Amino acid sequence: MSPSSLTPQLRGPSTKPGTSRWIWTAFFVCSAAAIAFFFVPAFIIQPFRHQSPRGLLVAMALWQRAPLGTAIAALGCFVFAFLLWKSANRWRKSVLVLTLIVVTLSAAMARLNYFEWMFRPIPGARFLSQAQSKLDSKEMLMSVRLGDDARAYPISQMAYHHVLNDVVGDLPIAVTY
């Protein structure tokens, strides 16, 4: 018996040399695309930090296309993982499984508006008179006056919630920051 007949085959009989490398490359390209569609907008869109207009443009373009983009990329990942599974050793199978978990979570998160989790709307605005208010004298305010009715909205609260629906002088308004 020759020594070459004792070594295990790494590829199945129908796999040509170089095909496995191409499939692994395609798998990781699809994985990177699926993960990027979710993570790039999540890292660029940071409401309490400076955001460049170009960065926001890229992030919003990806965020709008993320549901379809992650679905197509995830489908590609699963197809390539299926093709690679039979010839993969235990370590490579664990890489496939872990990558597919991250891709699946990215595809699921791309369909949710995770920014709503960070910014909960104010359920009902409560107002205090100026004398009752415990605001610091340096607190920045947004104010609205319509006729005899006036309101002041602390920037520190508006920065967290961004939108407040209110009625000032019998006129419904949306206060935004």
> Which one, of 163, 75, 167, lies nearest residue 120 by Cα?
163
Tell me: the pLDDT tens digits for 167-176? 888 888 888 8
Give pLDDT tens digits for 68-115.
999 999 999 999 999 999 999 999 999 999 999 999 999 999 998 877
Average of per-residue pLDDT across 51-59:
87
**pLDDT tens digit string along 101-160?**
999 999 999 998 877 776 666 766 777 877 788 888 888 888 889 988 888 888 877 776
Domain boundaries defined on the chain: 17-118, 121-177
Cα(145)–Cα(134) distance, integer angstroms: 21
Question: Distance between CA 121 and CA 166 in Å, rounded?
Answer: 12
With b for 16 or more beta-carbon neighbours within 10 A and e for fewer, the 64-81 pattern comes to eebeebbebbbebbbebb
In this prediction, residue 47 carries a pLDDT of 67
Q: Is the pLDDT of residue 14 over 80?
A: no
- How many other β-carbons are positioned within 10 Å of the β-carbon of residue 175? 19
Look at residue 35 in the predicted model and tell me its pLDDT: 96
Q: Under 8 Å CB-to-CB from 161, ≥6 apart: which residues?
A: 119, 120, 121, 122
Residue 116: what pLDDT?
Answer: 72
Query: What pLDDT was estimated at residue 134?
Result: 81
Closest CA to 126 of 171, 155, 97, 164: 164
Tell me, yes or no, if the pTM score tops 0.85.
no
